[in-house]
Chain A
Amino acid sequence: MTAPSRTTMRDAFVDTVDEALEHDPRVSVVLADISADRFTAAAERHPDRIVNLGIREQAMLGVAGGMALTGLRPVAHSITPFLVERPFEQIKLDLSHQGVGAVLVSTGASYDYPTAGRTHMAPADVALLDTLPGWTVHVPGHPDEVTALLRSALSGDEPVYVRLSEQENPEPLVRGPGLREVRRGGSGVVVAVGPMLRPTLAATEGLDVTVLYAATVRPFDPARLRAATLAAKPNVVLVEPYLRGTSAHVVDEALPDVAHRVLPLGVRRDRELRAYGNTDEHAATHGIDAAGIATAVRGFLDART
């Protein structure tokens, strides 16, 4: 599964769930109109396991919790702010507090829909879920990664968040959790999350740094991060496609006994970006296009020497 795919992450999500419905009687889907058109055929085959509630995101998460309590494996899906932020207490109480899991699949990450403005952006999604214990968080960088990670999530019981994006890397890299080494160097370690790999590789071209790739950020694979950091100078750069610094605490927790520096890059948290345009313009403004990452990483590494 290394050939570039022409399907989007969202296509891969729908196809994977559609297939799982055929062979796993536990799988169910709860929708709030978003993507309901993509599940029409599946809903005709499995009318009791695909429920579109209309535009009711609180009920969507409550229903997912109720279904999980009866032994099903519910998938709840919407655009990121409506899946994670609006019904956040339902995620906290109807899933986590009840001690049950579900697979939450968002679409439209951070500034994927730049012309839609702030209402359709939720770059704090991973940080928010990070306030709840036990969630696995996948941030795939390619549709084929979506398929592999989602299949694994559907067969389990634990709470899982899968963050789909319109931004993607040219090739899939991983089929499971953990950090993957893409390049090795001695001046520091740059961790690129999901779709941030492509600009990160361009930005670090010619730099003497290790580049690690993560499509799963919770849990974060502290062992591999630690090993890579100990094998280089203890300079860690995080390049995340969501709120800047979201994973800074897990880097610190992986290196409690190592004097280290962390440079977190990601979506700016110091102001609300009121702009439309395109995703390249947003990436540049947040400093996470290839040029911005290159400038930041060079400055960070130079500052120590």
Chain B
Amino acid sequence: MTTTTAPADPEYQALPALMSRMTGDEKHSAAATSTLDVLWVLHDRVLRLDPAKPEDAERDRFLLSKGHGPMAYYAVLAAKGFLDPAELDRWSQFDSPLGAHPDRVLVPGVEIGSGSLGHGLPLALGQVLGLRARGLTDARVVVLLGDAELDEGSNHEAIAVAGRLGLGRLTAVIVDNASATHGWPGGIGERFEREGWAHRTVDGRDHEALHSALTDTRPDRPLAVVATVDSKEQ
């Protein structure tokens, strides 16, 4: 198990039990899911989201681009009041709103339906541009991708444009478990920086480091946070 500096937060400690309602695995610890800590820090301390007003125009947007393996996402949404925890028991059944890939039309608080890689970042770019055009310039858009997902060329179209346009309200979080087939010489963050993004690489299990990086935005350039986790993790 990876060491963690996570505080003994009862809500956070409850997440493995919520996840086990979907996986049926009582041993399913936080370390078994690469995105859990990033998702938690974002939803607990960074994003302005209110389960009572999931459609509020002024809200921040969180887009889970890496839509596969969404158990940690559903657990966080349940812990934060967007989902009835009882729904977790029925996940992936025919009439359940919770699938193996999330669907925005079925789950309150879910901003995009995802599962096919390479769609979240261009959608997030469009949301930042759309919010700006509507004068909603306080809202942030945060999109979570996997490092292998960056292989998709559609991401590179969006990375270049977002950097050139200097969109400070956009944040990409790349959970890096070194799963990209051909890798990223020089590191992932370097690639974003070259395109005009600000960049921080942090331990993807360290809540304080994640919080610091995720709130370190710039007004004139998008932010990439590379959250590194153990490569053996799923």
A residues in contact (CB < 8 Å) with B: 25, 28, 30, 48-49, 51, 53-54, 56, 58-59, 61-72, 74, 89-90, 93-94, 97-99
Taking the closest CB of chain A, its distance from the CB of B169, in whole angstroms, is 12
List the A residue with the shortest CB-CB distance to B113.
A97
Compute how far the CA of A97 lies from the CA of B102 in the bound complex, rounded to whole angstroms: 11
Partner of A71, one of B119, B134, B153: B134
Taking the closest CB of chain A, its distance from the CB of B161, in whole angstroms, is 5
Residues of B28-86 contacting chain A, CB below 8 A? 57
Known pairs A66-B126, A69-B126, A90-B119 / 7 extra A-B pairs, C-beta < 8 Å: A25-B134, A54-B161, A58-B122, A62-B125, A68-B130, A90-B154, A97-B103
Taking the closest CB of chain A, its distance from the CB of B188, in whole angstroms, is 19
Partner of B130, one of A61, A70, A94: A70
Q: Are B126 and A58 in contact (CB under 8 A)?
A: no
Q: Are B116 and A67 in contact (CB under 8 A)?
A: no
Q: Are B126 and A64 in contact (CB under 8 A)?
A: yes
Report 5 cross-chain contacts, Cβ distance below 8 Å, ordered by A residue: A48-B129, A53-B157, A59-B154, A71-B134, A94-B123
Q: Are B116 and A66 in contact (CB under 8 A)?
A: no
Q: Are A56 and B157 in contact (CB under 8 A)?
A: yes
Compute how far the CA of A28 lies from the CA of B131 in the bound complex, rounded to whole angstroms: 12
Q: Are A67 and B129 in contact (CB under 8 A)?
A: yes
Residues of chain A lying within 8 A (CB to CB) of residue B116: 89, 93
Q: Are B113 and A58 in contact (CB under 8 A)?
A: no
Taking the closest CB of chain B, its distance from the CB of A146, in whole angstroms, is 25
Residues of chain A lying within 8 A (CB to CB) of residue B124: 66
Q: Mark B111-142, 1 if CB is under 8 A from A, else 0.
A: 11100101101111111111111101000000
Taking the closest CB of chain B, its distance from the CB of A221, in whole angstroms, is 29
Residues of chain A lying within 8 A (CB to CB) of residue B132: 48
Taking the closest CB of chain B, its distance from the CB of A42, in whole angstroms, is 13
Given contacts A66-B125, A99-B104, contact A59 B158 (CB under 8 A): yes
Q: Are A66 and B161 in contact (CB under 8 A)?
A: no
- 9 residue pairs, one from A and one from B, having the closest CB atoms: A66-B126, A62-B122, A70-B130, A63-B126, A59-B157, A67-B130, A56-B157, A66-B127, A58-B154
Q: Are B57 and A58 in contact (CB under 8 A)?
A: no
Partner of A63, one of B105, B111, B125: B125
List the B residue with the shortest CB-CB distance to A32.
B157
List the A residue with the shortest CB-CB distance to B143.
A66
Q: Are A69 and B127 in contact (CB under 8 A)?
A: yes
Q: Are A62 and B126 in contact (CB under 8 A)?
A: yes
Compute how far the CA of A159 lies from the CA of B125 in the bound complex, rounded to whole angstroms: 20
Taking the closest CB of chain A, its distance from the CB of B164, in whole angstroms, is 9
Q: Mark B157-196, 1 if CB is under 8 A from A, else 0.
A: 1101100000000000000000000000000000000000
Partner of B122, one of A70, A72, A74, A94: A94
Q: Are B158 and A69 in contact (CB under 8 A)?
A: no
Residues of chain B lying within 8 A (CB to CB) of residue A61: 122
Partner of B113, one of A70, A89, A93: A93
List the B residue with the shortest CB-CB distance to A51.
B129
Taking the closest CB of chain A, its distance from the CB of B100, in whole angstroms, is 15
Q: Are A65 and B113 in contact (CB under 8 A)?
A: no
Taking the closest CB of chain A, its distance from the CB of B16, in whole angstroms, is 31
Residues of chain B lying within 8 A (CB to CB) of residue A94: 119, 122-123
Q: Are A66 and B57 in contact (CB under 8 A)?
A: no
Q: Are B104 and A98 in contact (CB under 8 A)?
A: yes
List the B residue with the shortest CB-CB distance to A53.
B161
Compute how far the CA of A65 lies from the CA of B111 in the bound complex, rounded to whole angstroms: 12
Q: Are B134 and A66 in contact (CB under 8 A)?
A: no
- Select the residue from B103, B116, B129, B134 with max chain A CB neighbours within 10 A: B129
Q: Are A66 and B154 in contact (CB under 8 A)?
A: no
Compute how far the CA of A94 lies from the CA of B123 in the bound complex, rounded to whole angstroms: 7
Compute how far the CA of A107 lies from the CA of B121 in the bound complex, rounded to whole angstroms: 27
Compute how far the CA of A97 lies from the CA of B111 in the bound complex, rounded to whole angstroms: 12
- Select the residue from A30, A49, A89, A94 with max chain B CB neighbours within 10 A: A94
Compute how far the CA of A254 lies from the CA of B215 in the bound complex, rounded to whole angstroms: 58
Residues of chain B lying within 8 A (CB to CB) of residue A48: 129, 132-133
Residues of B89-117 contacting chain A, CB below 8 A? 103-105, 111-113, 116
Partner of A62, one of B57, B105, B111, B158: B158
